[in-house]
Amino acid sequence: MIRVEAVVKRYGALVALDGIDLAIGAGEAFGLLGPNGAGKTTLVRLLATLARPDGGRLCVGGHDTVTEAARVKRLIGVVFQENNLDRDLSPRQNLLFQARLHRLAAPGAAVAAMLERIGLAAHADRPVNALSGGMRRRLVIGRALLTDPRVLLLDEPTTGLDPAIRRELWAMIRAIRDQGCTVILTTHYVEEAEALCDRVGILTRGRLAGLGSPAELVGRFGGPRLEDVVVALGAGAAA
């Protein structure tokens, strides 16, 4: 589903990604772990066609993110860290705007179905400002799912949420994965990657320092926990 081949991305003198190679299969849940500045969000932005690589190539569903960006956009849904909902509108109005922007057939029915799916039907006409943080995150994810994407990109989807709400969102993300959607998420929470991801990639200084299932990485690098592996690889890159 996704191929990343020798990808390089620079911001001036800073090398954010330094020759990344990666393949992610259809229906896979894949996590990106690593410290701030490791390149996680940069890779998501490249996959979302919001930035161009300075070297190498990225493909989503067989389509190049640079030369076929319009086709890639039709395959993906994106949720970034920032909550960019219109807080003066209700959940229903936010979703209707998105549905009409993408020219969905029967936008009202699509929005009603999504409100049910994300558990916000009872709050559909309240101002977004009146919703809890967890409800807002569910709404942001629901908005990304309106177009029925084959790939969902989640950039730190649960940052700042309390543990109970975080686990509520984990259940939602598992359900999305179980329906066949390829899910790629960045996270600082090792337990989140262990709970949700088939495989994880550990980025350090723009390079892929480790790749495999959580259990494989613990076995390969001598854990005893995935968190210890992440810390060890990060320290090795900084040495």
Instruction: Domain ranges for the chain, please list them.
Output: 85-147
Residues 6+ apart with CB under 8 A from 49: 65, 66, 69, 72, 73
The CA-based angle 224-192-186, given to 5 degrees, is 110
Q: How far apart are CA 8 and CA 207, in angstroms?
A: 10
Nearest in space to 45 (alpha carbons), one of 13, 6, 4: 4
Q: How far apart are CA 77 and CA 145, in angstroms?
A: 6
Share of the chain above pLDDT 90, in %: 72
pTM metric for this prediction: 0.90
Given a cut of 80, is residue 228 above it in pLDDT? no
CB–CB of 38/187 below 8 Å? no
Nearest in space to 197 (alpha carbons), one of 163, 134, 152: 152
Given a cut of 90, is residue 227 above it in pLDDT? no
Question: Per-residue pLDDT averaged across 214-237, rounded?
Answer: 72
Mean pLDDT of the chain: 91
Helix ranges (H only) for 103-213 are 107-117, 133-145, 163-178, 190-196
Q: How far apart are CA 190 and CA 230, in angstroms?
A: 8
Q: How far apart are CA 171 and CA 175, in angstroms?
A: 6
Question: Per-residue pLDDT averaged across 152-181, rounded?
Answer: 91
Name the helix (H) or strand (E) containing 121.
Answer: none
Which pLDDT belongs to residue 237? 47
Which pLDDT belongs to residue 234? 67
Strand order of the β-sheet with 76-79 is 76-79, 151-155, 182-186, 29-33, 199-204, 207-212
Confidence of residue 28 (pLDDT cuts 50, 70, 90): very high
